[in-house]
Structure 1
Amino acid sequence: MDLTNSIVSILPSLSRPVNHSRIFYAVMFDAGSTGTRIHVYTFIHSDSEELPVLDNEMFHSIKPGLSAYADAPEMAGHTVRMLLKVAKKTVPRLEWKRTPVVLRATAGLRLLRTEKAHALLDQVQHVFDESPFLVPDNSVSIMNGTNEGILAWISLNFLTGHLNAQNKKTVGILDLGGGSTQITFLPKQKKTIESVPVADYVASFDIFNSTFELYTYSYLGHGLMAARLATLDALGAEGLEWRVFKSSCLPKKYSDEWSFGGLTYHVSGDPDGYSGYKLCYQEVLKVVKGIIHQPYELEDSSVFYAFSYYFDRAVDAGLIDGVQGGMLEVRDFKKRAKEVCNKMTKYPLISPFLCMDMTYITCLLKDGFGFKESTVLQLTKKVNNVEASWALGAMLDHFHNLIH
């Protein structure tokens, strides 16, 4: 049965005797570096199927991320309390005590000092414990980057109908968050697995009695916001109150404050120097070169779905429609990055960082992962009306323990 034909499969299943299928709910919080998001899933599970059918997703997000409250952890609890109201509206009251609530934090909290991260998570745990929902063991934690990549891969392949036992065609994923970036795909060639720099780049999980061996890696500090800091030489820098971080990727006359992860930076263009694509590319190349591993096969491995900031910046730069998404070649990012960077006075209204962001994405895809300029990427925000993210995969894993 195709897992994604949910509408078709739901109608008959609801009219079957009750014991053959049941509706259940699950609440997943994604605590990212730039925002906290809630996904409330409605699943239908029939006895005959290993995986449930996803009927519906309620999605809501709040900015900034929890890491912005590193010095005021009770605000993290307040954010989660606000989002839990969405869950209470979506899940029928009688189901509350059976509905699990889970929060997984990603790179924003991985980048914080351990005690600050734990203070935030303790606040969340407190809010969960006083809520009417089911709070499983280990309901609040920081997820490791490898799982973030695998779970996003599970989500996208579940939503595109590629997870059933007969299917050997799968889709790869490219996820660009604020703090980290992930690449995950199912290699066709043994050499891809054999030529990884360290064993960490390979992970496996089981489903439908078959084991998938994936190429997957998460680069901490290479999400879009962390990459801005790295480009500006501001990652881990001291003296933030008096230093100004300059870049030829920013408009010459631009000068402002910019905040990420609870810290504020003074940033500016280079009023005496040059700006533009070439110089900007050299700056971002230092962040990417020699750090991002190029997998042995990329071209014919699979279609790649790119989401999160890949999608958002493609929309900001006018490359794709903000609702529909669409197919782009890697060279489309490059061409638009050149246009934005070389005419920075034209684009400052959207974001003074658009040149830097578009150049970074181009550099990450080309000089980082080693995609050809002609590689086609599927830019997406939602698949079948469900957010493209690791959250759905995390919920499926919670019920089925797919990852080992």
Structure 2
Amino acid sequence: MKPTVPLLLLVLLAISGLSRAQIRTSLLDLTNNIGSILPSLSRPANHSRIFYAVMFDAGSTGTRIHVYTFIQGDSEELPVLDNEMFHSIKPGLSAYADSPEMAGHTVRMLLKVAKKTVPRLEWKRTPVVLRATAGLRLLAAEKAQALLDQVQHVFDESPFLVPDNSVTIMNGTNEGILAWISLNFLTGHLNAHTKKTVGILDLGGGSTQITFLPKLQKTIETVPVTDYVARFDIFNSTYELYTYSYLGNGLMAARLATLGALGAEGLEWRVFKSSCLPKKFRDEWSFGGLTYHVSGDPEGYAGFKLCYQEVLKVVKDIIHQPYELEDSNVFYAFSYYYDRAVDAGLIDGVQGGMLEVRDFKKRAKEVCNKMTKYPPISPFLCMDLTYITCLLKDGFGFKESTVLQLTKKVNNVEASWALGATLDHFHNLKIH
């Protein structure tokens, strides 16, 4: 059954972008295959008005476009989100920090998908919006602005409707809050009739977020600084959330920190070693527009214990443990939590599933301790699984028995911050 949304939300959803899927496609493939990726619409015979919307999610590891189709029927009060077309390109915009015109080219290529999906007569009524996350937050301000300016130029020359503030960098804290709003809206918990909500764990490339509604006031009273608490009003209810965004603790940034490469000099000649990598592994790895020489430690030892000691330095004294992480407070984990669980064979790649924290730990041990005998599908899988385990246990303080809901979509809608960002844009939630 397709999700429905109230009339008020028709415009709200019309600029939302709900993303995080990891579809690896080159610019050339995109150009060649546009026709084959377009969705087929399933419109009811009595439809009277069709709306479209285009949203870009500019993440640290990729740029994603969503083209949405909504239907408002003559006899029904609720419009239907009829279709969602999604596509992505790697790497993210931050990889073009020194050649911003390439960032504009990336967006221009993805806009071709929108032009193929949205009928020409609807272009001028279809809003196009881009929100950037940690990839651009990690860049120097002038380099990030140059990228945004290029995107704005591409938008302005496009035939689509360009709202005010259509190209911006999203505040890190709001990313967690708005993802919480999205997931609780999609799971039906965001109304005055329920006191039960779900928490969210979002692991991006550059940053990670935790957000939940505490049941104990002490959780709010014991935060290190007031930045960990956010209040807002929505749908006649006031919420006080525990929330924080850790810039530099996303999966890719954590790789750099584990390797000791974060902010390092002499990248052209230095080799960054780790016990988390296969001993004989040596290669180049790029993130955020920089290339690093990385390798295992051929003279030393590899394995879970040594790897855990390395990643613990990235988490210890950085991640705050909230006073309360109630087992009854279900947490939805998505983005790289989901992707690495799929890579490790812990969940189905389409359906997702429930996992205990100890499942990540057990699989991390298996992958790390057998890297030489059974090479993993990615040389970084040991490091990534160990980091996720450490982040959940020693970082946030989850018990090994805590159950997480690993998900990519809820009611056929991508799990992300974008729906919440759209609600905030129109409702002015006064987050503070």
Using a 3 Å threshold, how does the CA distance of structure 1 residues 358 and 12 change in structure 2: closer, same or farther? closer
Change (3 A) 1:272 1:392: same
Structure 1 residues 18 and 191, CA, compared in 2 at 3 Å: closer, same or farther? Answer: farther
- Post-superposition shift, 1:386? 1.5
Tell me how far 1:45 sits from its aligned partner. 7.2
Matched-pair contact (CA < 8 Å) for 2:258–2:314: yes
- Once the 2 structures are TM-superposed, how far is the Cα of residue 151 of structure 1 from its aligned partner? 1.3
Give the number of aligned pairs. 404
Question: Aligned residue for 2:236?
Answer: 209
Distance 1:376 1:270 in 2: 35
Displacement of 1:244 in angstroms is: 0.6
**Given the superposition, is the C-alpha separation of residues 26 and 288 from structure 1 closer, same or farther in structure 2, using an over 3 Å criterion?**
same
* 1:2–1:161 Cα contact (<8 Å) kept: no
Q: Which residue of 2 aligns with 1:107?
A: 134
CA spacing shift, 1:202–1:282, aligned 2, 3 Å? same
Note closer, same or farther for the CA distance 1:8–1:255 as it changes in structure 2 (3 Å cut): closer
Residues 47 and 74 in structure 2, CA contact (< 8 A), matched pair in contact too = yes
Instruction: Decide whether the 8 Å contact of 2:276 with 2:307 is kept in 1.
Output: yes
Alignment CA distance shift 1:42-1:159 (3 Å): farther
Q: In the alignment, which residue of structure 2 is the partner of 1:55?
A: 82
Q: Distance in 1 between matches of 2:36 and 2:42?
A: 11
Separation (CA, whole Å) in 2 of partners of 1:11 and 1:188: 45
Indicate conservation of the 8 Å contact 1:34/1:108, yes or no. Answer: yes
Q: How far off its partner does 1:87 sit? A: 2.0
Cα deviations by residue, 1:276-330 (Å, 9 ceiling, x for unpaired):
0000000000100111011111124521010000001001111111011100000
C-alpha separation between the residues in 2 aligned to 1:331 and 1:5?
44
SS at match of 2:189: coil
**Partner SS state of residue 29, structure 1:** strand
Q: Deviations over 1:220-253 (max 9, x none)?
A: 0000000000000100000001111010000001
Tell me the SS of whatever aligns to 2:196.
coil
- Which shows bigger deviation, 357-366 or 77-86? 77-86
The 8 Å contact of residues 33 and 106 in structure 1, kept in 2 or not, is answered as yes
Following the alignment from structure 2 to structure 1, what is the Cα–Cα distance between the partners of residues 252 and 176? 18
Structure 1 stretch displaced more, 88-97 or 160-169: 88-97
Change in 2 beyond 3 A, CA 1:385/1:239: same
Tell me the distance in 2 between the aligned counterparts of 1:45 and 1:397.
Answer: 23
Residues of 2 paired with 1:314 and 1:260: CA distance? 21
Contact 2:354 2:404 in 1 (8 A): yes
Q: How big is each residue's C-alpha offset from its partner over 1:153-206, in whole Å with a ceiling of 9 and x where there is no partner?
A: 111112112122312211111000000000111111111111111111111222
- Whether the aligned pair in 2 keeps the contact of 1:13 and 1:21 (CA below 8 Å) is no
Contact 1:289 1:367 in 2 (8 A): yes
Given that 2:206 and 2:250 are in contact with CA atoms closer than 8 Å, whether structure 1 keeps it comes out as: yes
Instruction: Please tell me whether the aligned partners of residues 299 and 375 of structure 1 are also in contact (alpha carbons under 8 angstroms).
Output: no
Q: CA deviation at 1:18?
A: 14
Is contact 2:39-2:83 (8 Å) kept?
Answer: no
The more displaced of 84-93 and 355-364 is 84-93
Deviations, residues 344-372 of structure 1 (Å, cap 9, x unaligned): 12453510000000000000000000000
Checking the alignment, whether the CA contact within 8 Å between 1:177 and 1:224 is kept in structure 2 is: yes
- Give the SS at the match of 2:348: coil
Q: Distance in 2 between matches of 1:178 and 1:132?
A: 32
Structure 1 unaligned residues grouped into runs of 5+: none
> Structure 1 residues 43-52 or 277-286, which shifts more?
43-52
Residues 1:239 and 1:145: Cα distance change in structure 2 (over 3 Å) = same
Q: CA 1:141–1:134 in 2, change beyond 3 Å: closer, same or farther?
A: same
Residues 360/10 of structure 1: CA separation in 2 closer, same or farther (3 Å cut): closer
SS at 1:377 equivalent: strand
Separation in 2, partners of 1:20, 1:247: 59
1:88, distance to aligned residue in structure 2 (A): 2.2
Change (3 A) 1:116 1:60: same
Query: 2:84, 2:29 → 1: CA distance?
Result: 18
3-state secondary structure, aligned to 2:405: strand
Of 283, 289, 295, 1:262 maps to: 289
User: In structure 1, the residue corresponding to 2:85 is in which secondary structure?
Assistant: strand
1:93 maps to 120
- Cα drift, residue 7 of structure 1: 27
- Give the deviation of 1:27 after TM superposition: 1.9
Residues 14 and 21 of structure 1 are in contact (CA less than 8 Å); yes or no, is this contact kept in structure 2? no
Asked whether the 8 Å contact 1:35–1:64 carries over to 2, the reply is yes
Residues in 2 aligned to 1:47 and 1:219: alpha-carbon distance in whole angstroms: 47
For the residue of structure 1 that corresponds to 2:30, the secondary structure is coil
Query: Does 1:331 pair with 2:362?
Result: no
Q: 1:176 to 1:12 in 2, by over 3 A?
A: closer
Q: Distance in 1 between matches of 2:178 and 2:37?
A: 24
Specify the SS of the correspondent of 2:230.
strand
SS in 2 for 1:206: strand
Partner of 2:38, secondary structure, is helix
User: 8 Å contact 2:107–2:154 — kept in the other structure?
Assistant: yes
Aligned residue for 2:40, secondary structure, equals: helix
User: Contact 2:135–2:206 at 8 Å: present in 1 too?
Assistant: yes
For 1:3 and 1:185, the matched residues in 2 are separated by 38
SS in 2 for 1:14: coil
Distance 1:44 1:276, change over 3 A: same
Q: Relative to structure 1, is the Cα distance of residues 292 and 259 closer, same or farther in structure 2, using a 3 angstrom cutoff?
A: same
CA distance in 2, matches of 1:184, 1:51: 30
Identify the range of structure 1 (106-115 vs 94-103) with the bigger mean alpha-carbon deviation: 94-103
User: Which sections of structure 2, spanning at least 5 residues, go unmatched?
Assistant: 1-27
Tell me if the contact between 2:38 and 2:85 (Cα under 8 Å) persists in the aligned partners. Answer: no
Aligned to 1:281: 308
Corresponding residue for residue 66 of structure 1: 93
**How far has the Cα of 1:49 moved from its partner?**
12
**CA shift at 1:399, angstroms?**
3.0
Kindly indicate whether the alpha-carbon contact (under 8 Å) linking 1:34 and 1:65 is maintained by their aligned counterparts in 2: yes
Mapped to 2, the partners of 1:276 and 1:25 lie a distance apart of 50
Give the alignment partner of residue 253 of structure 1, picking from 271, 280, 284: 280
Distance 1:11 1:270, change over 3 A: closer
The answer to whether structure 1 residue 350 and structure 2 residue 382 are counterparts is no
Q: Is the 8 A contact 1:4 1:54 kept in 2?
A: no
